[in-house]
A and B are shown apart, each in its own frame.
Chain A
Amino acid sequence: MRTVDEVTSDQDVAAAIREGSHAALRIAFERWGSLIYTYALRILRDPHDADDVTQLTFVSAWSSRHLLRPEPSALPGWLVGIAKHRIADVQRGRARGLRTVSAVALEPDPSEPSIDQRVTERVVVAYELDRLGDPKATIVRRAYVEDVPLMTIADELGLPLNTVKSHARRGLAQLRERLRGVADHE
């Protein structure tokens, strides 16, 4: 049997965080901690830095929770947006460290570290695809990543074609919504 934590919608979690609930932030950490960590790790390539970014992201999220919009897909996009700033902080810190060590004093300040939006989107989509759960995730993966016809997927999974179509449609809509959430927090 599932716990209510698991059936709680992302929107409900967002609303409860706004209200100031530690337990809701904890649920958010369980849902997206791994997304934030992996995102930071892929850019910074250092597990220790990725841990720091994860920690700072959720602490910053808590202290700015009044800015969180109570919309269905707002929470992951918002967390990723905060993580992006924390990652940039680490990159700036590294650049400064480098400059001190090699004394490249004549060079202008390194420009604002930029994080490729494509990397952000890829990580978010991969994560949200996993979160769709099966059979929806498998259907979306087979149909749109591997280009398998929906009819074939229906045969493979032993599901009615209409069920497969509906999963495909809803799954894609969910991913679209998630990406929009990330773009909104640019």
Chain B
Amino acid sequence: MKKILIIDDEVTIVKAYTEHLHRKGYDVEFAFDGREGLEKAKKFNPDLILLDIIMPGMDGISTLRKLRKNRKTKKTPVIILTNLESREDIVEAMKEGSLYFVKANFALEKLDEWIIELLDSEERKKEK
């Protein structure tokens, strides 16, 4: 079972994603801020991370940088959950190697496609 970690400070949004991904057959873990997210990432060792940008304390971009520095999570694919179209944030996230962004009007169906696509490509990399 593929493992997905959700890092977002909004309880209802975390609930929505968690339940949806559960039903899609993933093992889901969640964290409500960046610090907790980093700890869970080390323990849970996810195959993919959904990460919110605006969070109190450590924000999404700083969390992403720290994830990239950690040996275990260095190459884990990250999908950014963003409510704001701040180009600066997007550029920063892209610098850290995340090319997937989920916006407010985004369909869950599309998210599902992306998750499958990213996990498949990771699988192919491992096989090589």
Binding partners A and B: no
Which residues of A are in contact with B by a Cβ distance under 8 Å?
A: none
B interface list, Cβ under 8 A from A:
none
